[in-house]
Amino acid sequence: MSKSADVRILGSGIVSRSLALCLAHQGLQVALQARPAASPRTDDVRAYALNPSSVALLQRLRAWDALPAEARTAVLDMKVAGDAPGAGIEFSAWQQAVDALAWIVDAAELENSLETAVRYNPRIDLQPQPGPAALTVVAEGKASAERERLGVAFERHGYGHSALATRLVAEGPHQGTAWQWFRAPEVLALLPLDRPECGHGYALVWSQPAEQAEHWRQAAPEALEEVLLQLTGGVVGRLRVAGDRATWPLALGRAQAVSGPGWALVGDAAHVVHPLAGQGLNLGLADVQALDEVLAARESWRDLGDAALLRRYARKRAWGTWAMAQGTDGLWQLFAQDAPGLRELRNHGMTLVNRIAPLKRWLVRQALDV
């Protein structure tokens, strides 16, 4: 028989499961409404760039070490190129005195690892229709129905672009280098990944106008390989398509409020950003850490759904999510325009930033901890 829950969490993603584990670790009884996934999941061809804070959280939840070794790869160098010869910025873990700039993790494997951890946690009850609880946390993703039911407006701006993702086999080993090309209006990223299907190859994330993304999703593999060779200038040699292809429509989105009496929003249900900086899930996991801390530090007389308590969570997250939304949107706006003056300005700016070591260090610190 299911026990009565302290907290009800709605959602079947990485954010909902991470939060369920956090709250269970602090001794709360959790009812999790998560749709059972095909197990084990293999249908998500994305790979996520995770920052050290997210990795530390997943380690604490024992979901990181449970990942197969080939599901996570450290990024030691990052090379970002503009759309003029020689324009770009390079970051290295060695220069920043960190073990890794980020880790690339296979999306489906991370979901599997968290699902297993949740399934065996005695404080988490998986329920198709959980009953009421003092606190309901909505982690239903960008199209959240519960958010709508609560009457919380979600401001959404579609970019008219989609991201195409797949896996690529490279001619040589990736050596822990992540690549990104800003080519107005497109952003192409190669994330190093060690997986059986792509060897020491790459996960591709290529943001581009939606119709073009659809074209390349369906194109013959040889045609896609040819265009990738042109766009990357052959810096990693010829790339071979080695997996399914999928596209995601891209948008900027923000909920008008992220908490109220008895409820809180986390993850994409609260905010959606362009994936050009690889930060959406990092933001969601930072929400998880903030809510976990606020609930753990509550006064003994406060109810878990206390509106003033949940406002502390909203305040904790306000600046970080706002800054990331502005930053990713600003970058996108800057690189989406193809006006020659602007092109020169941004390429010059990139090269300048590359030469200013303290500014570079500051940028990396921002990306390492959202």
Ligand X SMILES: Cc1cc2nc3c(=O)[nH]c(=O)nc-3n(C[C@H](O)[C@H](O)[C@H](O)COP(=O)(O)OP(=O)(O)OC[C@H]3O[C@@H](n4cnc5c(N)ncnc54)[C@H](O)[C@@H]3O)c2cc1C
The interface with ligand X within residues 247-276 (CB under 6 A) comprises 248, 267-268, 275
**CA 347/CA 323 separation, integer angstroms:** 23
Per-residue binder mask for ligand X (CB under 6 A), 301-340, x = binder: ----------------------------------------
Among 52, 141, 209, 243, binds ligand X (CB under 6 A): 141
Q: Measured in whole angstroms, how far is the alpha carbon of residue 237 from the centre of its chain?
A: 28
Q: Is 366 in the site for ligand X (CB under 6 A)?
A: no
Which stretches of the chain are DSSP H helices?
14-25, 52-60, 93-96, 107-119, 145-149, 210-218, 221-232, 280-296, 307-336, 340-355, 357-368
The interface mask with ligand X, positions 56-95, x = CB under 6 A, is ----------------------------------------
Shortest reach from residue 348's CB to ligand X, in Å: 28
Which part of the chain contacts ligand X (CB under 6 A), choosing from 6-14, 56-64, 325-333, 336-344? Answer: 6-14
How far apart (Å, rounded) are the C-alpha atoms in residues 82 and 181? 6
Of 7-15, 193-201, 251-259, 299-307, the segment contacting ligand X by CB under 6 A is 7-15
* DSSP secondary structure, 201-235, as one string: EEEEEEEEEHHHHHHHHHS-HHHHHHHHHHHHTTT
Q: Which position among 7, 8, 12, 121 is part of the footprint of ligand X (CB under 6 A)? A: 12
Does residue 130 bind ligand X (CB under 6 A)?
A: no
Q: Which is nearer to ligand X, 274 or 312 (CB)?
A: 274
Query: Which residue lies nearer to ligand X by CB, 48 or 343?
Result: 48
Q: Which one of the spans 13-21, 151-159, 171-179, 355-363 is the region binding ligand X (CB under 6 A)? A: 13-21
H/E stretch holding 250? strand 246-255
Cis omega before residue 36 (within 30°)? no
Per the CB < 8 A criterion, the answer to whether 276 and 207 are in contact is yes
Residue among 30 and 205 whose Cβ is closer to ligand X? 205
Select from 130, 284, 305, 320 the one that contacts ligand X (CB under 6 A).
Answer: 284
Site string for ligand X, 24-53 (x = CB under 6 A): ---------xxx----------x-xx----
**Contacts of 320 by beta carbon, 8 Å cutoff, 6+ apart:** 283, 286, 370
How many residues touch ligand X under the rule CB under 6 A: the total is 29
Least spacing, CB of residue 356 vs ligand X, in Å: 26
Q: 201-240: which residues touch ligand X (CB under 6 A)?
A: 205
Closest to ligand X by CB, 89 or 277: 277
Q: How far is the CB of 343 from ligand X (least distance, A)?
A: 25
The residue type at 117: A
State the DSSP code for 101.
Answer: S
Structure tokens at 129: 């229709």
When binding is defined by CB under 6 A, the residue of 82, 130, 199, 278 that contacts ligand X is: 278
Tokens of 343: 């092109």
Sign of CA dihedral 73, 78, 80, 81: negative
**Minimum distance from CB of 173 to ligand X (Å)?**
21
311 CB-contact burial (10 Å; exposed 0-12 / middle 13-18 / buried 19+): middle
Under the criterion CB under 6 A, does residue 13 sit at the interface with ligand X? yes
Among 23, 80, 163, 314, binds ligand X (CB under 6 A): 163
Closest CA to 218 of 277, 170, 159, 162: 162
| Shortest reach from residue 264's CB to ligand X, in Å | 13
Nearest to 18 by CA among 45, 46, 48, 42: 48
In the complex, which residues of this chain contact ligand X (CB under 6 A)?
10-16, 33-35, 46, 48-49, 139-141, 163, 165, 205, 248, 267-268, 275, 278-282, 284
